[in-house]
Amino acid sequence: MSLDRLVLWRHGETDYNATGRMQGHLDSSLTEAGQEQARRAAPAIARFAPDVAFSSDLNRARTTAAAFVEVSGASLRLDKRLRETHLGEWQGLSVAEVEHGWPGALSTWRANPTWAPPGGESRVEVAERAEEVVEDLDNQHHGTALLCAHGGLITALTAKLVGLPLDLWPGLGGIGNCHWVVLKRQGGEADRWRLVAFNAGVEG
């Protein structure tokens, strides 16, 4: 038994997104715009007809996933391993504040997926805990799985699942609010994932 498709859906806009602050594990809320993004995207996500749906336990992901539940009637389970990257001492700060306090560190962090903010975790560590979720689902389900999570986790997990070398991880762009990634298992190779959509979203 194993999955053949993964849909990785990022949460809607939060108050931290709107003000340019770094969230990490801070439990921010969706703005009105973010709630509307979730409502608009939910029918498109429901059309993937996931056999199982999981969400990060952080409020911004749970609220986004609730819009999918409302249109699909599906059940949803929470998993804290789907939380965003823990940003340590950077959480709650603006980019300018991080740059002021740790000159040049943001560039290092963006370029090196093994580097972690002070007191935080690296993108490699994030990808490893998220991959555990996928492995658990592989052992228990088949078909399509929906994971409602966070931009940093989604890009890191995507890079790991498709086998990108670490030096190429920074080449993946960001995921827009309420946009998604789709991966499918490569035909004939049960363990190989193929990226078929990246940063997809609804118009408007």
SS3 200: strand
Active site residue 179: no
Among residues 11, 86, 150, 179, the one annotated as catalytic is 11
Here the tokens at position 93 are: 């700060």
**38, 41, 42, 47: CA torsion to nearest 10:** -170
Among residues 13, 84, 86, 179, the one annotated as catalytic is 84
Active site residue 128: no
| Residue 34 and residue 177 in contact, taking contact as beta carbons nearer than 8 Å | yes
Here the tokens at position 117 are: 């903010």
| Residue 146 and residue 116 in contact, taking contact as beta carbons nearer than 8 Å | no
Here the tokens at position 31 are: 């703005």
DSSP state of 194: E
Instruction: Give residue for tokens 């990785």.
Output: 8
Residues designated catalytic:
11, 84
